[in-house]
Structure 1
Amino acid sequence: MTSQLTGQTTSQAERLPSPDQIRRAPKVLLHDHLDGGLRPATIADLARETGYDALPEREPERLGRWFREAADSGSLERYLETFAHTCAVMQTRDALVRVAAECAEDLAADGVVYAEVRYAPEQHLERGLTLEDVVEAVNEGFREGERRARAAGHRIRVGALLTAMRHAARALEIAELANAYRDSGVVGFDIAGAEAGYPPTRHLDAFEYLKRENNHFTIHAGEAFGLPSIWQALQWCGADRLGHGVRIIDDIEVAGDGSVSLGRLAAYVRDKRVPLEMCPSSNLQTGAAPSIGEHPIGLLRRLHFRTTVNTDNRLMSGTSMSGEFELLVDAFGYTLDDMQWFTVNAMKSAFIPFDERLAMINDVIKPGYAELKSEWLFRQTAVTS
């Protein structure tokens, strides 16, 4: 028997990973915003410590619910308000260290073994910190979080991506900052913010500088805006990866008989193995996809694009890497083999040296999945014997 939804046979459906296996599976995260992943209790604590009195709720559980509901509201104004609150409590060195350390801890507890977490230093200067102060505090926090994770029996490595806001005029300055700290925990550069009206070509000087320095960068593109955003990010700016990139689906045509035709941009993205930093839950909130079952990641995976799975904003989406994979397993019938494929894709696309990526794949990711698959085989043998 075959499921109409997933195309999986009954025996294949029995191979679907359990929530516990998904949590324990080694995962790689390339697109996660530091100011979008705070613990509600931490926001409440920091607000009290810093005298920030504009939170919509004070009790952590209700505050966490407010963040998710505001992000789900369909109102851009309410969605942006969520970040106003998180950034407001991230204006001191101690706050940044704490938030970064907890980020690393939370990701490690969820089975993430490698993460690139992005943030915009220019958004944390309201209480007198310099750009350098911000970067050094966040780096310190990530290292502390890695130490705490090890003490708890988890393994994680966290690299920082420094983000410039595309509506501002500090991209070159932030790019130079990313280059200055590239051997001290910063692995690359990013631009974020509203796509419409703020094309990446506004910041060509930053991208040209990074290319001259042989440094890495990703660009938010192809989420709120369409194919021109992707084309500019790749062909004008030379992005190594696409943040989201979900609208590449607009250049793919599926005929009534199921045959697929790729436009020239989509074919280029696939042929060049351009990594797509897909964030399914977030894409639903922003309207880039109507549902998980209809998310382009399903087709892109079948067509062997370099797709990866990410969280974007864990607080606003009420999600985690395990949560994202659970949604995809339910929607598309993905197995541990599929999870490993996404994870290896992400590790191949990370902004650390090739030999270090290869070591993570061969020494951590593949053995981790092999162990989980062996567990499944053992249980199946026990059931049938």
Structure 2
Amino acid sequence: MTHQPTLDEIRKAPKVLLHDHLDGGVRPQTIIDLARETGYDALPTTDVEELRTWFREASDSGSLERYLETFDHTVGVMQTRDALVRVAAECAEDLANDGVVYAEVRYAPELHTSEGLSLDEVVEAVLEGFKIGSEGRGIRVGALLTAMRHQARSMEIAELAVRYRDVGVAGFDIAGAEAGFPPTRHLDAFEYLQRENSHFTIHAGEGFGLPSIWQALQWCGADRLGHGVRIIDDIQVATDGTPKLGRLAAYVRDKRIPLEMCPTSNLQTGAATSLAEHPIGLLRRLYFRVTVHTDNRLMSDTSVSKEFANLVETFGYGWDDLQWFTVNAMKSAFIPFDERLALINGVIKPGFAQLKWQA
């Protein structure tokens, strides 16, 4: 019988994280500390373990809208420069401790200005935190600047992403409730980014179906799809197991468009009913450009290693599968090709080879 990777072994593997929200991965103790320092008095509890449990249970509702409400508390304590630096530094530390060697962490600058910080000050504080937390830990962390799809500041945030792209901002994203807020509402921002030769991903195919994915790709020109799980709606599987891809699904596979999949989060928001039924199993078999991520480490009580371990347990994946997911993610990163290649050939493949040899 082939040895299946354990959680402890997976933690040692060099991993890549492309879909992780800064305000979804704050340490519970940090939330309590910052609430005390900033006068934020709306926390449901100030006990660390109780707070950790509250976030997980509040996120398990099966509703994307209810899930998003948990961010009121994390964003609420992330309104000062010092708070942003601390949260970003701890994020980089936590990811490095989980074996992540490259990460793109996203956040919405517009959500952190209620105490007077400018958008530029928000970005500079987070970049400083990433730098502090990454130093000497064998991890590289870039930022994705997110615009909220129900607001009207996407052009402003897109310009911000371009302004800081040479000092740590890897790209742009839009997020928030999908239903009723199609990505085409922000077409001017996406067209601007394309003219600037800039990278962007779009949350699509999570809380809404194929039209969301189609618009993100064919109208807006997304480089990657945040989640993209509903692409499964364009694949028919016959009783004998033979798959038939619709035109959109075939396009996504043929063009190697990366799917930023976050299995635990998808279960919480109702985008999938169980891990065994999660589209990732079929999409992996059909060789879509599948990548595996955390989304919100606090709300889902997860890490990249935990996500991988759950997939190993559910689908029987081995080291080759985990390496495949990881290389897919590194190929899809928003950094120059030669730098991606250096990490794949110099860090990821040797790291997995050593773990497979030890197993």
Question: Under a length normalisation based on structure 1, what TM-score does the superposition of the two structures give?
Answer: 0.92
Residue 221 (structure 2) pairs with residue 238 (structure 1):
yes
Note the 1:214-225 alignment, pairs <5 A: 214-225=197-208
Partner of 1:198: 181
Residue 20 of structure 1 and its aligned partner are, at CA, apart by 1.4
Partner of 1:36: 24
Residue 314 (structure 2) pairs with residue 331 (structure 1):
yes
Q: For 1:220-260, what per-residue CA distance to the aligned partner results, in whole angstroms no more than 9, with x for missing partners? A: 00011000000000000000000000000000011101111
How far, CA to CA, are the matches of 1:110 and 1:342 in structure 2? 16
Residue of structure 2 aligned with 1:87, choices 75, 86, 99? 75
Moved over 3 A (4+): 74-78
How far, CA to CA, are the matches of 1:213 and 1:372 in structure 2? 41
Note the 1:42-61 alignment, pairs <5 A: 42-61=30-49
How far, CA to CA, are the matches of 1:264 and 1:30 in structure 2? 26
Q: 1:75 to 1:239 in 2, by over 3 A?
A: closer
Letter in 2 for 1:209: Y
Question: Percent identity over the alignment?
Answer: 78
Residue 101 (structure 2) pairs with residue 113 (structure 1):
yes
How far, CA to CA, are the matches of 1:118 and 1:76 in structure 2? 18
Q: Is the 8 A contact 2:65 2:177 kept in 1?
A: no
How far, CA to CA, are the matches of 2:184 and 2:334 in structure 1? 22
Partner of 2:280: 297
Paired residue secondary structure (2:181): coil
Partner of 1:228: 211
Residue 274 (structure 2) pairs with residue 286 (structure 1):
no
Residue 18 of structure 1 and its aligned partner are, at CA, apart by 1.5
Q: 1:16 to 1:100 in 2, by over 3 A?
A: same
How far, CA to CA, are the matches of 1:18 and 1:44 in structure 2? 33
How far, CA to CA, are the matches of 2:60 and 2:22 in structure 1? 19
Paired residue secondary structure (1:137): helix
Note the 1:118-197 alignment, pairs <5 A: 118-147=106-135, 150=136, 154-197=137-180
Letter in 1 for 2:177: A
Residue 21 of structure 1 and its aligned partner are, at CA, apart by 1.1
Residue of structure 2 aligned with 1:73, choices 52, 61, 73? 61
Which deviates more, 16-25 or 178-187?
A: 16-25
How far, CA to CA, are the matches of 1:78 and 1:202 in structure 2? 23
Partner of 1:276: 259
Residue 373 of structure 1 and its aligned partner are, at CA, apart by 0.9
How far, CA to CA, are the matches of 1:336 and 1:48 in structure 2? 44
Residue 81 of structure 1 and its aligned partner are, at CA, apart by 2.7
Residue 79 of structure 1 and its aligned partner are, at CA, apart by 2.4
How far, CA to CA, are the matches of 2:64 and 2:206 in structure 1? 14
Paired residue secondary structure (1:114): strand
Q: For 1:151-172, what per-residue CA distance to the aligned partner results, in whole angstroms no more than 9, with x for missing partners? A: xxx4100000000000000000
Letter in 2 for 1:116: E
Question: Under a length normalisation based on structure 2, what TM-score does the superposition of the two structures give?
Answer: 0.99
Structure 1 portions without partners, runs of 5+: 1-10, 377-385
Residue 349 (structure 2) pairs with residue 349 (structure 1):
no
Residue 374 of structure 1 and its aligned partner are, at CA, apart by 1.1
Q: For 1:64-99, what per-residue CA distance to the aligned partner results, in whole angstroms no more than 9, with x for missing partners? A: 100000001335564233100000000000000000
Q: For 1:300-330, what per-residue CA distance to the aligned partner results, in whole angstroms no more than 9, with x for missing partners? A: 0000000000000000001000110010000
Residue 80 (structure 2) pairs with residue 96 (structure 1):
no
Residue of structure 2 aligned with 1:359, choices 342, 352, 357? 342
How far, CA to CA, are the matches of 1:340 and 1:320 in structure 2? 16
Residue 140 of structure 1 and its aligned partner are, at CA, apart by 0.1
Q: For 1:238-284, what per-residue CA distance to the aligned partner results, in whole angstroms no more than 9, with x for missing partners? A: 00000000000000011101111000000000000000000000000
Letter in 2 for 1:337: D
How far, CA to CA, are the matches of 2:155 and 2:290 in structure 1? 29
Q: For 1:90-139, what per-residue CA distance to the aligned partner results, in whole angstroms no more than 9, with x for missing partners? A: 00000000000000000000010000000000000010000000000000
How far, CA to CA, are the matches of 2:68 and 2:21 in structure 1? 14
Q: For 1:360-381, what per-residue CA distance to the aligned partner results, in whole angstroms no more than 9, with x for missing partners? A: 00000001001101101xxxxx
Return the index of the structure with the highest Cα Rg: 1
Structure 2 portions without partners, runs of 5+: none
Partner of 2:298: 315
Q: For 1:7-53, what per-residue CA distance to the aligned partner results, in whole angstroms no more than 9, with x for missing partners? A: xxxx23xx211211111011100000000000000000000000111
Paired residue secondary structure (2:124): helix
Partner of 2:243: 260
